[in-house]
Structure 1
Amino acid sequence: MLVQSATPQMVAQWKAIWCEYRDRLRPNRRSGGEVVAYLREKYPLRELHDNAATRVVTDNVLHNAYLAMKLPANTEPTAVAFIVEQSGTGATLYLKQDEVFKGNDIFAGVDLSSGCFFVEGSSLLHDELRAFQGLDAKDIQNYFLVAEYISSLRRFDLLERIVP
């Protein structure tokens, strides 16, 4: 999860990771529905039914050309949004919350149509979902997404299991 402005050194590092892994990666991207099922199975969630929360997800998809292209033809985003509760497995996310997010709720939003997800308040949850969801063929051509995916796999000690 990128939480700062990219520097030229960071971009160079992302490109180096992309060059190392792009030919070893195979499309394995899970759908938005699978991401939601994973979240619901793993964490206590409070679903947000207000327009403002789902609008955040919808706007992020529609106003980002790369994400908007993930929408199937003639399809609008179908957003769901959650707050991770501070109990059970959710409490662990709050205990490990990045300093910049301390004291804030952890928000997770998923567009069921495109599969795009968004997390605010926890780089740990973001990276966990990135590792779980995987990449599609187009994502594998994006050096930032590949570097983020590889970093997420490393964070959860999954790299050797998933990338040959």
Structure 2
Amino acid sequence: MQEPTPEMVQSWKETYKTFRPGLKPNKKPIQDVIAYLKENYPVIDRTEQKLLQIVIENVTLNEHSAHKIPPGKPPLAQVFQIENTGTGKSLYENQDEIFKGCPVIVGFELESGYFMVEGSSQLWDELFIYRGLDEEDLNNYYLVAEYVACIQKTGHPARK
């Protein structure tokens, strides 16, 4: 949520050098991530065109994500809101200060496997670890460093 400093970039590269050799591709299909979300949290579908378009633009305007859409396939978005009940309640109770009072929204782009979370860094970390990284992601020092940071922050063991 900030412009990266040279120190941050250097730290990501060091983390990459340390942890990349032990990581293997483990990315789950996006439908598995959606199923995981629905199994673990109370969700409601959000079908507003504005929300769907935000997800699509987050993919199509990002070179790393955009080329993961297969040729000839249009981007396809799905958006959910986590309800502030049951297991969803803890996400709202543990929101970062910047998100306090905002709904927790999760968007998926079904062709590229991209996802985004607004309103809960805790849920983003959880889904990022669950989804994992593909071979291409494992060659991106930022994504590897972010994956390792999420694992270290949550104490979640990395999946092989």
TM-score between both structures, scaled by the size of structure 2: 0.95
Cα distance between partner residues in 2 of 1:148 and 1:157: 14
Residue 137 of structure 1: aligned partner: 135
Give the superposition deviation at 1:124: 0.3
Residue 20 of structure 1: aligned partner: 18
Letter in 1 for 2:97: E
Give the superposition deviation at 1:129: 0.6
Residue 91 of structure 1: aligned partner: 89
Give the superposition deviation at 1:155: 2.2
Deviations 1:78-108 (A, max 9, x none): 1100111100111100110000111111110
1:110 is aligned, of 88, 92, 108, to 108
Residue 71 of structure 1: aligned partner: 69
Give the superposition deviation at 1:5: 2.0
Letter in 2 for 1:89: T
Cα distance between partner residues in 2 of 1:47 and 1:123: 20
Letter in 1 for 2:150: S
What RMSD over aligned residues (CA atoms) do the two structures have, in Å? Answer: 1.2
TM-score between both structures, scaled by the size of structure 1: 0.93
Cα distance between partner residues in 2 of 1:133 and 1:81: 17
How much identity, in percent, do the aligned residues show?
Answer: 41
3-state DSSP class of the match of 1:113?
Answer: coil
Cα distance between partner residues in 1 of 2:64 and 2:74: 15
Q: Please list, as runs of the form range in 1=range in 2, the aligned pairs for 1:45-56 lying within 5 A after superposition.
A: 45-56=43-54
Residue 120 of structure 1: aligned partner: 118
Give the superposition deviation at 1:76: 1.4
Cα distance between partner residues in 1 of 2:44 and 2:156: 29
Give ranges in structure 1 of 5+ residues lacking alignment.
none
3-state DSSP class of the match of 2:84?
Answer: coil
Residue 156 of structure 2: aligned partner: 158
Cα distance between partner residues in 1 of 2:47 and 2:40: 20
Cα distance between partner residues in 2 of 1:69 and 1:156: 30
Deviations 1:44-96 (A, max 9, x none): 11111121111111111111111001112221111100111100111100110
Residue 29 of structure 1: aligned partner: 27
Moved over 6 A (4+): none
